[in-house]
Amino acid sequence: MSSKILCEIFNQKEIICIYNIYKNEDDLEKIEKCIHMVAEFFLEHNIQNKIKTSLWFHTSNPILADFTPSHFILLGKVNKVFSFISSQLN
């Protein structure tokens, strides 16, 4: 897992929490995959902005019970975020 990718989306406190919650490398890679999927979506729509990707992860989403995707990740629910992103992109 590239900590550089995490630093582009999450603040230092969130990154510490992520590494405390996710001890499994597969889960950390899934977070990275979530970031890439959202970034690729914006890139396909000519929005090449890391800030937009970060904003998406930190904006309340009604489909996620008005929680932010980053909040779900910090609650240990990366699989739910991954499933949500996958379903929205299909």
Taking only the tens place, the pLDDT of each residue in 36-58 is: 999 988 887 766 678 889 999 99
Closest CA to 28 of 48, 6, 49: 6
Per the prediction, the chain carries an average pLDDT of: 90
pTM of the entire predicted model: 0.88
* Cβ 77 vs Cβ 21: under 8 Å: no
Rounded-to-10 torsion of CA 42, 29, 79, 10: -60
pLDDT over 60 (residue 1): no
Cα distance between residue 76 and residue 4, in whole Å? 20
pLDDT average, residue stretch 69-81: 96
H-only helix segments in 1-90? 3-9, 12-21, 25-44, 50-57, 69-74, 78-89
Lowest mean pLDDT among 26-35, 47-56, 75-84: 47-56
